[in-house]
Amino acid sequence: MPLAGHLFDLSAREYLVAAGFGLVPMTLGMMLYVIGSALIPATLSALIGTMEAPMGALWAWIGVGEVPAATTLIGGAIVMAGVFGRVLYDLREERFRMMSEGVQTPNA
């Protein structure tokens, strides 16, 4: 409360928008992340969790027009490339493992 000097300056609609944002997308996103992280290895889950910062900058750019700095874009691209590279590598390894075991893959 000491840092919320202008807390009561907001309108009822602004409170409703803030509550809706806090309850729906944030809660749903965290719930899906927790459920999904139980289905994949912990290292991959942690790697995917690093995408939160670049995605936050991207959504701020798309949603509110807040243009990120060039260094933010470069760093975000590095993180995203690392995550997608790892996921693609895992998919490739899984396909090779299945082929060596004689399991038919859909695209084989």
CB distance 80 to 51 below 8 Å: yes
d(CA 93, CA 95): 5
The predicted structure's pLDDT at residue 92: 92
Asked whether the whole model's pTM tops 0.75, one would answer no
Q: Could you read off the pLDDT tens digit of each residue along the chain, which spans 108 residues? A: 677 778 788 889 988 988 888 888 788 888 988 998 899 888 888 888 888 888 888 888 888 888 999 999 999 999 999 999 998 998 899 888 888 887 666 665
Which tokens in the block code for residue 41?
Answer: 């290895």
Q: Which distant-in-sequence residues (6+ apart) come within 8 Å of 55 by Cβ? A: none
Question: From the CB of residue 54, how many other CB atoms can be counted at a distance below 10 Å?
Answer: 19
CB distance 90 to 97 below 8 Å: no
Q: Which stretch of DSSP H or E encloses residue 51?
A: none
